[in-house]
Amino acid sequence: MADPYIILNELAQELRPMPQGIEWFEGLSAEEQSHALRLLSHFCIQARATAEDGPESIRRAGLRATHTPAVLISQGQLDQQLGKIASLAPHDERLKSFRLLIAVLAVADGRRRERFCSDGCGHAWHRLAVPPPPPPPPPAAGGAPGPPRPPGRWRCAAPLRLSRQQVRPRRP
């Protein structure tokens, strides 16, 4: 399994797209999902999330105010509510919890970065780099892009020469 500490922080810092994060989360076993949610809850507490972060987090997560994780985070006593959100059992609630906790971490950590880390800090998670793009595919045979050509076809016997009339654009 990829390092959840890095993946979760990349998602919160928008260095990794959320659809990719959801795909990663759904690929985890139920036990690994619970572990990831507990980690997120812990990260939110470390980032000093407050009850005021709730409405913005709900909006960023794309949840309705009536979804269970959204209701829980709106009830105050954030430390307790984060634990309850992380321990929701049904699969669809886990996915909503994942999206909400990523959003809470993004809001709280963003505020913390502005206030305390704007001039630099020693937090390793604030020095994550954007994952490099995948390498380009190797060039096709013969150095030309595109599919390989059948032998003996598509080759000119002589170089193409154009007259001046063919090179100059015609005037209307």
User: Distance (Å, rounded) from C-alpha 75 to C-alpha 66?
Assistant: 12
pLDDT per residue over 74-115, tens digit each? 988 888 888 899 888 888 899 999 999 999 999 998 888 777
Neighbouring residues of 168: CB distance < 8 A, sequence distance ≥ 6: none
How much is the average pLDDT of 130-147?
59
pLDDT per residue over 123-133, tens digit each? 555 455 555 55
Residue 119 has pLDDT above 70, yes or no: no
What pLDDT score does 117 carry? 62
User: Distance (Å, rounded) from C-alpha 80 to C-alpha 94?
Assistant: 17
Of the ranges 60-64, 74-78, 148-152, which is most confident?
60-64
Whether pTM exceeds 0.85: no
Token couple for 70 = 């959204």
What pLDDT score does 158 carry? 47
Please say whether the beta carbons of 76 and 49 come within 8 A: no
Q: Reduced to 3 DSSP states, what percent helix, strand and coil does the chain have, rounded to the nearest 5?
A: 55, 0, 45
What pLDDT score does 107 carry? 92
User: Distance (Å, rounded) from C-alpha 100 to C-alpha 54?
Assistant: 9
Residue 159 has pLDDT above 80, yes or no: no
Please say whether the beta carbons of 37 and 30 come within 8 A: no
